[in-house]
Structures are given as structure tokens and as C-alpha cells.
Structure 1
Amino acid sequence: MRPAAVLFDCDGVIVDSEPLTDRIIAANLTRHGLPMAPDEVKTLFRGGTMASVAETARTRGAGIGENWIDDIYAEIFQGLATGTPLIAGIEAAFDALDAAGVAYAVGSNGPHRKMAVTLGQHPHLHRRLAGRIFSREDVARPKPAPDLYLHAASCIGAEPARCVVIEDSATGARAARSAGMACLGYAPLGDGASLAEAGARPFRDMAELPALLGL
């Protein structure tokens, strides 16, 4: 049975922002006394919030100040503004959802300003998602709590049990599971094992998504 609604994570699912973001965070933490490679940032922090990044970095010895979150976001926004491509096949997936009359929305642990920077570079898509872009700023608790996906489902009038979440992180997959929603885990590289362990069904190519959703 096709879902009543599909809820998408943003970074790594709609926009290919994570490689650049990981490089910026790695370079920043290295400057602050915590040598780290982009792959380590990806492994440690994928799907989390910048507050959780700061907390972990401090416990590992990074000399970052109270304003670090504002400072790193300024670096990230500047970097992303130079060009953030869409994930291949995502627009065709939205086309298929529109054709089938299936509602969709975005739920991201990132702030609204970040999505304005990344999605805003793609005006047609940004307009398409208007009124359906939700951030951890809109709820009490970020992923892996269920709040964000439950909020998104409520705002578009969909029953949680009939929603499917599209995620690329175990953190997001756990949020979907806690919300009582099925989850498809986008894993273009690797086997998606961490997603599967968190309750998601991994897939490798966004072109597979319409069929996986029964469209």
C-alpha cells in the first residue's frame, strides 16, 4: 500500500551538502586542537545537531568557545552558498509523488537558515516545498526523538502510521522508528548496515524510490 505521506530528511537526501560540511567542520576542529578528518566527522556526527557536535568535540579536547556554534554555522553557510547540488534523482522522485497525489514534507535537524541557503539555490524546488519545510527549531527535541517527524506529519494532515521517512542517517532512522513510521535508508555508498540496524530498509539509488513507495 502506498503511503499517505513521505517525509524527507534534507542534507544527504535532497541536497548533497554533507561532504562540504564535513570538510569545513573537520578543518575547524583541527584548528581548535582536535585533529579530525572529514570521514571521522561523517562517522561521529552524521544526523546530529551542531550542539551535539560541540559537546562531543569539547569532551575530546577541542578548545572551542561559547560562540562556536554561531561561528561554525557562519563558515558552513558561506561554503554551502558557493554551490550545493541536489541529490541525483530527487526531483524525479518528487515528480512521481505529485503524479500519484502523495503528500510530502521535509524534516531536518538543521536550522531553517541552512535550508534556505541550500534549497534556496534551487528556486523551483524551494517553491515546491514551500510551507512543508520543518526544522529541529520547530520542536522541543531533535532527532533521534520522534518530535520532528510527528510535527511534520501533523502539519500536512497525515497519520504517522501511514507515513514513510527517507533518511540517510541512523539517527534519523531511529527518529522515524520512534514516531511509528516506516523508513527507507538512502545509502548510495556502502551497504547501509547502520541504517538497517536502526530499522530502515536501505536502498542505493534515488531512482528506486518511486517503486519502493508503491507508486
Structure 2
Amino acid sequence: MDVELLVFDCDGVLVDSERLSALVLREMAAELGLALTAADALERLRGRKVADWVAELAALIPGGLPADFTERFRARTAEAFDAHLTEIPGVRRVLDTVEVPYCVASSAPLAKIRHTLGITGLLPYFGDRIHSAYEVGSWKPDPGLFRHAARHAGAAPERCVVVEDSLPGVRAGVAAGMAVLGYAPPGSGTAPVLAEAGARTFTAMSELPLLLHRVREPGGTVRPLTPLHAR
């Protein structure tokens, strides 16, 4: 079985944006009298629709959140990205060498995806192969975004591989009928949760090319794919 499409999440997979977003969230929550740990802030953000975690946050703060909270959060994270955002270590080498067609499918707004990829110099790798949940109207863990990406590429879902770092993303990939590789870097503590949800986990982007040779089939078995260099 050959891989017809490699589907990357963006935040936390291509660009190291989640850490910065969580820092901004902690700062803004503290300004409203709510103390969040780094782990709590990151867990609220990772792979989720902004409107969902904002609604949860509002319920924790007496009187709710200011009406412009989301707008100010996006503006402050954009400033943090401009100053500090970097790509995920090793991902550029993957994009330079992998011989599988690839795209981005993210729950973030299209403008944010383009902004973060542009800052890190990764935008030219993707062209028009950038898919946003806001454009499709489907947010992870719903599989609609990944199915849309497969249709756009003319790929069969069962021949697509998703690269995700979040539980909603893994669930979306599994529900779409795709093999899922779960990026769980050292110290993240996410590997057990992602694996339980159906992902084959890995800790460094340098592992990704070899992992593309294997997909998980129904029943939990793992079969080899055609080596990329043999095509």
C-alpha cells in the first residue's frame, strides 16, 4: 500500500506556536484574576477550536470575559509569533526530502496558518494545499477537514497519513479512516493519550520518513509500505 497524501497539522507539528499561544493565554488569564499552569493553558489550546476553549474560560471568571477577548488574544499571539516563532526542529528537512504529496489541514483560521508558515519560511512548501477548518466549516475531532483535504488531492482516505500532536486531531484522523502518526516530543507527556486514541507515536521529525513506510490496519496490525526510494 502506497501513501497518496501526507496531511500535516500546523500548530505544534510544523511550527512551534502552541507554546507561545499558551504563554499569551496565561498572561491574559492572570490579568483577569485566573491563574493557569503552563500545562493547563497548553491543554486548553492544543488542537481545539478557539470558540470552545474561550467559552470554557469565560465560565471560570466572574462576570465572564471581555467582549474583545478573542480579538486581543489573536493580536497578542500574532505579536509573539512575529518576535519568537520557530519551525518544529527537523520539519524542513522532511519537507525537502519526503517523496509523498503533502498538505496542511489545521483548525486555525487561514490567515493564521499563512502567517505562521510565512514567518518560519515554510509557506512556499505548500502553495494552495492549505486547508482551514474555518474555510470548510468542520473542526477536529470531526473528520470533515481531513476528508476535504483528501478530496482536494484526489487521494483515498485509507491511503492518507495524518501527522498530529493533539487528541482532537488524532481522533479526527482515525474517524476519517486515515493512518495517524502522533508527534509527541520529549517532555510533552502526550504519547500515551495519542497512542490510546489510535496514533503511532514518534518523538522527533527525523523519524517521520521511516514511519511513512508503515500504516495501521483494522485489527491493530502494522504492515510495511513501499519504500519511498523504490518508486
- Shorter-chain TM range is over 0.9
Matching residue of 1:159: 156
Aligned residue in 1 for 2:52: 52
Match of 1:30 in 2: 30
Distance 2:93 2:55 in 1: 38
Q: Is the 8 A contact 1:166 1:183 kept in 2?
A: yes
Q: Deviations over 1:61-103 (max 9, x none)?
A: 2631232211211111111111311111111111232xx2x21
| 1:174 equivalent among 149, 161, 171 | 171
Superposition deviation, residue 160 in structure 1: 0.9
Higher mean Cα deviation, 41-50 or 130-139? 41-50
Q: Which structure 2 residues correspond to residues 68-107 of structure 1 after superposition, within 5 A?
A: 68-97=69-98, 100=99, 102-107=100-105
State the identity %: 38
Whose Rg is larger? 2
Helix, strand or coil: the match of 1:52? Answer: helix
**Structure 1 residues without counterparts, runs of 5 or longer:** none
Aligned counterpart in structure 2 of residue 108 of structure 1, from 106, 109, 123: 106
**C-alpha separation between the residues in 1 aligned to 2:207 and 2:35?**
38
Deviation, 1:60, is: 1.9
TM-score by length of 2: 0.87
Letter of the aligned partner of 1:88 in structure 2? P
Q: What whole-Å deviation, never above 9, does each CA across 1:111-132 have from its counterpart, x for those lacking one?
A: 1121222111133x21121101
Moved more, 41-50 or 143-152: 41-50
AA aligned opposite 1:5? L
- How far apart are 1:38 and its partner, in Å? 2.1
- Whole-angstrom distance in 2 between the partners of 1:47 and 1:86: 17
Residue type at the aligned position of 1:201: R
1:11 aligns with 11
What amino acid is the match of 1:202? Answer: T
Distance 1:143 1:160 in 2: 16
* Residue pair 1:90, 1:206 contacting (<8 A) in 2 also: yes
Q: State the match for 1:193 in structure 2.
A: 192
Q: How far off its partner does 1:191 sit?
A: 5.9
CA contact (8 A) 1:23 1:37 kept: no
Q: Distance in 1 between matches of 2:120 and 2:45?
A: 26
Instruction: Output the CA distance in 1 between the equivalents of 2:67 and 2:153.
Output: 37
1:130 match: secondary structure: coil
Tell me, in whole angstroms, the C-alpha distance in 2 between the residues paired with 1:95 and 1:2. Answer: 19
1:208 paired residue number: 207
Report how many aligned residue pairs link the two structures: 211
1:121 corresponding residue in structure 2 = 119
* Helix, strand or coil at the partner of 1:19: helix
- Deviations 1:144-188 (Å, cap 9, x if unpaired)? 101111111111111111100000011100010111111000001
What RMSD, in angstroms, separates the aligned Cα atoms of the two structures?
A: 1.4
TM-score, normalised with respect to structure 1:
0.93
Distance 2:38 2:24 in 1: 8
Q: Secondary structure at the match of 2:84?
A: coil
